[in-house]
Amino acid sequence: MSEQLRVDGVTKSFGKVQVLRGIDLALAEHEVVCLIGASGSGKSTLLRCVNLLEPVDEGRIFLGGEEITAPGVDENRARQRIGIVFQAFNLFPHMSVLDNVTLGPRKVLRLPRPEARARALELLGRFGLADRGDDYPDRLSGGQQQRVAIVRALAMRPQLLLLDEVTSALDPELVAEVLSVIRELAEGGMTMLIATHEMGFARDIASRVCFLDAGVILEQGPPGQIFTSPAEPRTRQFLDRIIAAGRL
Protein backbone atom coordinates (compact mmCIF):
# COMPACT_ATOMS: atom_id res chain seq x y z
CA MET A 1 0.00 0.00 0.00
CA SER A 2 1.36 3.37 -0.91
CA GLU A 3 1.78 6.14 1.57
CA GLN A 4 -0.90 8.81 1.27
CA LEU A 5 0.07 11.22 4.02
CA ARG A 6 3.18 11.73 6.06
CA VAL A 7 3.60 14.29 8.79
CA ASP A 8 7.21 14.78 9.86
CA GLY A 9 8.08 16.55 13.10
CA VAL A 10 5.40 19.21 12.79
CA THR A 11 5.24 21.93 15.41
CA LYS A 12 2.82 24.81 15.67
CA SER A 13 2.47 27.63 18.17
CA PHE A 14 -0.16 30.27 18.63
CA GLY A 15 1.60 33.12 20.35
CA LYS A 16 3.41 31.57 23.29
CA VAL A 17 1.33 28.42 23.39
CA GLN A 18 2.88 25.50 21.57
CA VAL A 19 -0.10 23.45 20.42
CA LEU A 20 1.77 20.87 18.36
CA ARG A 21 5.11 19.77 19.72
CA GLY A 22 6.56 17.47 17.09
CA ILE A 23 3.95 15.32 15.38
CA ASP A 24 5.00 12.30 13.33
CA LEU A 25 2.27 10.42 11.57
CA ALA A 26 1.84 8.41 8.40
CA LEU A 27 -1.29 7.16 6.66
CA ALA A 28 -1.29 4.47 4.01
CA GLU A 29 -3.83 4.51 1.22
CA HIS A 30 -7.29 3.35 2.41
CA GLU A 31 -6.28 3.69 6.01
CA VAL A 32 -8.65 5.26 8.53
CA VAL A 33 -6.86 6.84 11.46
CA CYS A 34 -8.72 8.29 14.41
CA LEU A 35 -7.19 11.01 16.56
CA ILE A 36 -8.45 10.96 20.11
CA GLY A 37 -7.50 13.12 23.05
CA ALA A 38 -8.82 15.84 25.31
CA SER A 39 -9.97 19.19 23.97
CA GLY A 40 -6.93 21.34 23.41
CA SER A 41 -4.64 18.39 22.79
CA GLY A 42 -4.06 19.62 19.24
CA LYS A 43 -6.32 17.39 17.14
CA SER A 44 -8.02 20.21 15.25
CA THR A 45 -4.81 22.15 14.82
CA LEU A 46 -3.14 19.10 13.33
CA LEU A 47 -5.94 18.71 10.79
CA ARG A 48 -5.82 22.40 9.91
CA CYS A 49 -2.07 22.16 9.42
CA VAL A 50 -2.41 19.13 7.17
CA ASN A 51 -4.87 21.09 5.04
CA LEU A 52 -2.48 24.09 5.05
CA LEU A 53 -5.15 26.27 6.63
CA GLU A 54 -2.51 26.94 9.27
CA PRO A 55 1.14 27.23 8.26
CA VAL A 56 3.35 24.86 10.24
CA ASP A 57 6.24 26.33 12.25
CA GLU A 58 8.59 23.40 11.75
CA GLY A 59 8.42 20.02 10.11
CA ARG A 60 7.14 18.82 6.80
CA ILE A 61 3.97 17.34 5.37
CA PHE A 62 3.85 15.02 2.37
CA LEU A 63 0.79 14.16 0.33
CA GLY A 64 1.19 11.13 -1.91
CA GLY A 65 4.95 11.41 -1.51
CA GLU A 66 5.03 15.06 -2.55
CA GLU A 67 5.96 17.68 0.00
CA ILE A 68 3.19 20.28 0.34
CA THR A 69 4.90 22.42 2.96
CA ALA A 70 7.88 23.21 0.72
CA PRO A 71 8.28 26.84 -0.25
CA GLY A 72 6.84 27.59 -3.67
CA VAL A 73 4.27 24.79 -3.56
CA ASP A 74 0.88 25.82 -4.90
CA GLU A 75 -1.20 25.60 -1.75
CA ASN A 76 -4.48 25.81 -3.63
CA ARG A 77 -3.55 22.77 -5.68
CA ALA A 78 -2.59 20.86 -2.55
CA ARG A 79 -5.81 21.81 -0.79
CA GLN A 80 -8.01 20.68 -3.62
CA ARG A 81 -6.64 17.17 -3.15
CA ILE A 82 -7.41 17.16 0.58
CA GLY A 83 -11.00 17.39 1.75
CA ILE A 84 -11.89 18.67 5.19
CA VAL A 85 -15.19 18.63 7.05
CA PHE A 86 -15.55 20.97 9.99
CA GLN A 87 -17.30 20.64 13.30
CA ALA A 88 -19.60 23.58 12.53
CA PHE A 89 -20.34 22.43 8.94
CA ASN A 90 -19.34 25.83 7.49
CA LEU A 91 -21.72 25.53 4.58
CA PHE A 92 -22.13 28.69 2.51
CA PRO A 93 -25.46 30.08 3.74
CA HIS A 94 -26.08 32.21 0.67
CA MET A 95 -25.96 29.28 -1.71
CA SER A 96 -28.28 26.37 -2.34
CA VAL A 97 -27.07 22.90 -1.43
CA LEU A 98 -26.29 22.23 -5.07
CA ASP A 99 -24.25 25.42 -5.40
CA ASN A 100 -22.39 24.60 -2.20
CA VAL A 101 -21.41 21.25 -3.64
CA THR A 102 -20.59 22.43 -7.18
CA LEU A 103 -18.63 25.57 -6.27
CA GLY A 104 -15.30 23.77 -5.91
CA PRO A 105 -15.68 21.54 -8.98
CA ARG A 106 -16.77 24.49 -11.12
CA LYS A 107 -14.28 27.11 -9.98
CA VAL A 108 -11.29 24.98 -9.08
CA LEU A 109 -11.55 21.89 -11.27
CA ARG A 110 -13.17 23.99 -14.02
CA LEU A 111 -15.88 21.42 -14.68
CA PRO A 112 -18.70 22.68 -16.90
CA ARG A 113 -21.85 23.36 -14.90
CA PRO A 114 -23.85 20.33 -16.16
CA GLU A 115 -21.04 17.96 -15.26
CA ALA A 116 -20.51 19.49 -11.83
CA ARG A 117 -24.24 19.29 -11.30
CA ALA A 118 -24.42 15.66 -12.32
CA ARG A 119 -21.54 14.80 -10.02
CA ALA A 120 -23.21 16.66 -7.14
CA LEU A 121 -26.61 15.04 -7.69
CA GLU A 122 -25.04 11.61 -7.82
CA LEU A 123 -23.30 12.19 -4.47
CA LEU A 124 -26.31 13.84 -2.86
CA GLY A 125 -28.41 10.88 -3.93
CA ARG A 126 -25.93 8.44 -2.48
CA PHE A 127 -26.19 10.11 0.91
CA GLY A 128 -29.96 10.47 1.02
CA LEU A 129 -30.06 14.13 0.02
CA ALA A 130 -31.37 13.73 -3.51
CA ASP A 131 -34.33 16.07 -3.03
CA ARG A 132 -32.37 18.71 -1.10
CA GLY A 133 -30.36 20.23 -3.92
CA ASP A 134 -32.40 23.40 -4.19
CA ASP A 135 -32.73 24.01 -0.46
CA TYR A 136 -30.64 26.54 1.41
CA PRO A 137 -28.57 25.22 4.32
CA ASP A 138 -30.74 26.88 6.97
CA ARG A 139 -33.67 24.71 5.84
CA LEU A 140 -31.77 21.53 6.73
CA SER A 141 -31.28 19.69 10.01
CA GLY A 142 -27.79 19.61 11.51
CA GLY A 143 -27.30 16.05 10.35
CA GLN A 144 -28.33 16.93 6.81
CA GLN A 145 -26.07 19.98 6.82
CA GLN A 146 -23.12 17.91 7.91
CA ARG A 147 -23.83 15.33 5.22
CA VAL A 148 -23.93 18.13 2.66
CA ALA A 149 -20.58 19.33 3.98
CA ILE A 150 -19.18 15.82 3.50
CA VAL A 151 -20.61 15.69 -0.02
CA ARG A 152 -19.11 19.11 -0.75
CA ALA A 153 -15.68 17.78 0.22
CA LEU A 154 -16.17 14.55 -1.74
CA ALA A 155 -17.21 16.40 -4.90
CA MET A 156 -13.57 17.44 -5.27
CA ARG A 157 -12.60 13.73 -5.32
CA PRO A 158 -9.93 14.21 -2.66
CA GLN A 159 -7.11 11.75 -2.04
CA LEU A 160 -7.49 12.27 1.65
CA LEU A 161 -10.42 13.32 3.81
CA LEU A 162 -9.98 15.09 7.13
CA LEU A 163 -12.88 15.08 9.57
CA ASP A 164 -12.72 17.49 12.47
CA GLU A 165 -15.12 16.37 15.19
CA VAL A 166 -17.88 16.31 12.66
CA THR A 167 -20.55 15.10 15.08
CA SER A 168 -19.72 17.35 18.04
CA ALA A 169 -22.14 20.09 17.05
CA LEU A 170 -25.01 17.70 16.38
CA ASP A 171 -28.00 16.79 18.49
CA PRO A 172 -27.48 13.24 19.78
CA GLU A 173 -30.22 11.74 17.62
CA LEU A 174 -28.56 13.10 14.47
CA VAL A 175 -25.12 11.69 15.16
CA ALA A 176 -25.85 8.23 13.79
CA GLU A 177 -26.79 9.37 10.28
CA VAL A 178 -23.49 11.21 9.92
CA LEU A 179 -21.44 8.37 11.35
CA SER A 180 -23.05 5.90 8.97
CA VAL A 181 -21.97 8.09 6.06
CA ILE A 182 -18.40 8.02 7.30
CA ARG A 183 -18.57 4.29 7.80
CA GLU A 184 -19.71 3.91 4.22
CA LEU A 185 -16.78 6.03 3.05
CA ALA A 186 -14.36 3.89 5.03
CA GLU A 187 -15.80 0.75 3.43
CA GLY A 188 -15.38 2.41 0.05
CA GLY A 189 -11.66 2.75 0.72
CA MET A 190 -11.43 6.49 1.42
CA THR A 191 -8.25 7.44 3.26
CA MET A 192 -9.33 9.40 6.32
CA LEU A 193 -7.85 11.17 9.28
CA ILE A 194 -10.58 11.68 11.85
CA ALA A 195 -10.51 13.74 15.02
CA THR A 196 -13.31 12.46 17.18
CA HIS A 197 -14.83 12.17 20.62
CA GLU A 198 -16.98 9.24 19.54
CA MET A 199 -14.92 6.44 21.03
CA GLY A 200 -17.30 3.65 20.11
CA PHE A 201 -17.22 4.83 16.54
CA ALA A 202 -13.44 5.11 16.56
CA ARG A 203 -13.17 1.58 17.88
CA ASP A 204 -15.41 0.27 15.07
CA ILE A 205 -14.03 2.14 12.15
CA ALA A 206 -10.38 2.95 12.75
CA SER A 207 -7.55 0.89 11.40
CA ARG A 208 -5.42 2.77 13.89
CA VAL A 209 -6.06 5.08 16.82
CA CYS A 210 -3.67 7.86 17.88
CA PHE A 211 -3.89 9.36 21.33
CA LEU A 212 -2.86 13.01 21.31
CA ASP A 213 -1.74 14.57 24.54
CA ALA A 214 -0.33 18.06 24.93
CA GLY A 215 0.67 18.34 21.29
CA VAL A 216 2.35 14.97 20.78
CA ILE A 217 1.08 11.56 19.71
CA LEU A 218 1.67 9.78 22.96
CA GLU A 219 0.50 6.40 21.84
CA GLN A 220 -0.88 4.75 18.73
CA GLY A 221 -2.04 1.32 17.72
CA PRO A 222 -4.97 -0.76 16.61
CA PRO A 223 -8.20 0.25 18.36
CA GLY A 224 -8.45 -3.08 20.16
CA GLN A 225 -5.16 -2.45 21.88
CA ILE A 226 -5.59 1.28 22.61
CA PHE A 227 -9.06 0.92 24.06
CA THR A 228 -8.50 -2.23 26.06
CA SER A 229 -4.88 -2.19 27.14
CA PRO A 230 -3.28 1.20 26.59
CA ALA A 231 0.41 1.29 27.41
CA GLU A 232 0.58 4.88 28.63
CA PRO A 233 -0.90 5.93 31.97
CA ARG A 234 -2.10 9.21 30.39
CA THR A 235 -4.07 7.27 27.78
CA ARG A 236 -5.62 5.13 30.48
CA GLN A 237 -6.55 8.23 32.49
CA PHE A 238 -8.18 9.80 29.47
CA LEU A 239 -10.15 6.66 28.65
CA ASP A 240 -11.23 6.25 32.27
CA ARG A 241 -12.67 9.74 32.20
CA ILE A 242 -14.47 8.95 28.96
CA ILE A 243 -15.89 5.75 30.44
CA ALA A 244 -16.94 7.63 33.57
CA ALA A 245 -18.79 10.08 31.33
CA GLY A 246 -20.58 7.15 29.73
CA ARG A 247 -19.10 7.82 26.30
CA LEU A 248 -17.49 4.41 25.75
CB count within 10 Å of CB 18 equals 15
CB of 80 vs another protein, minimal distance in Å: 3
Q: Determine which residue in the list 24, 66, 108, 241 makes contact with another protein, applying CB under 8 A.
A: 108
Tell me the residue length of the chain: 248
The closest of 154, 146, 148 to 134, measured between CA atoms, is 148
One-letter amino acid identity for 138? D
Q: Determine which residue in the list 76, 110, 114, 233 makes contact with another protein, applying CB under 8 A.
A: 76
Could you say whether residue 193 binds another protein (CB under 8 A)?
no
Instruction: Report d(CA 176, CA 188) in Å as an integer.
Output: 18
Per residue in 198-215, is it b (16+ CB within 10 Å) or e — as a string?
Answer: bbebbbebbebbbbbbeb
Q: What distances in angstroms separate CA 239 from CA 16, 37, 89, 116, 230, one per listed residue?
A: 29, 9, 27, 44, 9
Choice between 51 and 69, CB closer to another protein: 51
Choice between 117 and 152, CB closer to another protein: 152
Q: Determine which residue in the list 11, 18, 80, 207 makes contact with another protein, applying CB under 8 A.
A: 80
Beta bridge partners of 35: 195, 210
Choice between 66 and 92, CB closer to another protein: 92
Q: Determine which residue in the list 88, 176, 216, 248 makes contact with another protein, applying CB under 8 A.
A: 88
CB of 90 vs another protein, minimal distance in Å: 4
Q: Determine which residue in the list 57, 65, 66, 77 makes contact with another protein, applying CB under 8 A.
A: 77
Q: Which residues bind another protein (CB under 8 A)?
A: 48, 51, 53, 76-77, 79-84, 86, 88, 90-94, 103-104, 107-109, 152-153, 156
